[in-house]
């Protein structure tokens, strides 16, 4: 089984490109972020014509997450427990939830498509929101795995954190002044390992960025960041046989500023008809 995550940065602008890639790479399940549309506006037909079912969570022209899957999706939820919300200028709990999380079950795999808040700037209310959002997600992951240690759980998407210095190749990032690389953000990301989730891609692909800003020739100069991840439970990690970052999807006409991250899983399916490659 082949599972991927991709911040598509507006699915209405890139649906053809996304589906072409999915068919070319034989993707079974794709988690998408920043779809930037409501479900009624999602270009569903092109996905359905290619044989994919959809789960979509979008509230406006901002944010938004979705899944496209060849297999049935069940247990669909649009938030995790105690997920915080955000409204600019508002303070306190019980703010409206944004469309940043979508959970589904496919073939006994519990999968999440996640668009972690950006944080905007150190000291900004959105930065505090980001840290609170990550903490609530981490607590949920820990509780899920404590209740069911054998659960094959994957939390994937745009985490908006570059966990290591090697993941931060954008020269505009300044330690102590920039989001994505601050100590609290990195600690929040690292806490998922304590909760029982590990990066299942990095052991296979130790180097490589997943995002390059459109400005200042960041992509030609390879001044990017590694901020898109697939974190898996031990049961999920045991299924992973290969992984890849598809850098070439940042090239060509109207690319997203992110590229897909992919894992291959061995589910022990003797009926897998994917062609052999020698």
* pLDDT of res. 251: 97
What's the mean per-residue pLDDT of the chain?
95
Please, what is the Cα angle at 151 between 109 and 135, to 5 degrees? 100
Q: Is the pTM of this model over 0.85?
A: yes
Count of CA atoms in the C-beta half-sphere (13 A) of 123: 3
Q: Under a CB-based contact definition with an 8 Å cutoff, are residues 183 and 135 in contact?
A: no
Counted residue by residue, the chain has a size of 278
| 3-class SS of residue 188 | helix
User: What pLDDT sits at residue 274?
Assistant: 46
CATH architecture of the domain formed by 2-265:
4-Layer Sandwich (3.60)
Res 270: pLDDT: 53
- Residue 271 confidence (pLDDT): 45
173-211: burial string, b at 16+ Cβ within 10 Å, e else: beeeebbbbbebbbebbebbeebbbbbbbbeebeebbbb
Domain boundaries, the chain: 2-265
Instruction: Report pLDDT for 91.
Output: 73
What's residue 276's pLDDT? 37
The count of other CB atoms within 10 Å of the CB of residue 145 is 18
Please state, in angstroms and rounded to a whole number, the distance separating the CA atoms of residues 103 and 67.
Answer: 9
Residues of the chain falling short of pLDDT 50: 271, 274-278
């Amino acid at each position: 089984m082949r599972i991927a995550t991709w911040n598509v940065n507006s699915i209405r602008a890139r649906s053809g490109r996304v589906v072409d890639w999915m068919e070319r790479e034989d993707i079974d399940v794709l988690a998408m972020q920043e779809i930037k549309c409501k479900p009624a506006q999602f270009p569903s037909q092109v996905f359905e014509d290619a044989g994919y079912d959809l789960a979509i969570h979008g509230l406006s022209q901002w944010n938004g997450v979705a899944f496209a899957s060849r297999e049935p999706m069940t247990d669909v939820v649009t938030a995790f427990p105690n997920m915080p919300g955000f409204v600019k200028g508002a303070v306190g709990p019980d703010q409206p939830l944004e469309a940043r999380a979508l959970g589904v079950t496919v073939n006994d795999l519990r999968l999440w498509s996640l668009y972690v808040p950006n944080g905007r700037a150190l000291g900004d209310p959105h930065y505090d929101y980001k840290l609170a959002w990550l903490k609530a997600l981490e607590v949920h992951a820990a509780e899920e795995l404590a209740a069911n240690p054998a659960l094959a759980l994957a939390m994937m998407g745009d985490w908006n954190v570059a966990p290591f210095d090697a993941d931060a190749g954008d020269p505009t990032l300044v330690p102590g002044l920039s989001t994505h690389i601050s100590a609290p953000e990195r600690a929040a990301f690292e806490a998922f390992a304590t909760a029982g989730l590990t990066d299942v891609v990095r052991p296979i692909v130790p180097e490589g960025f997943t995002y390059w800003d459109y400005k200042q020739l960041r992509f030609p100069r390879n001044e990017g960041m590694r901020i898109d991840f697939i974190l898996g439970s031990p049961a999920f990690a045991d299924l992973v046989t290969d992984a890849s970052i598809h850098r070439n999807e940042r090239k060509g006409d109207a690319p997203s500023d992110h590229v897909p991250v992919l894992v291959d899983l061995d589910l022990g399916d003797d009926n897998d008809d994917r062609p052999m490659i020698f």
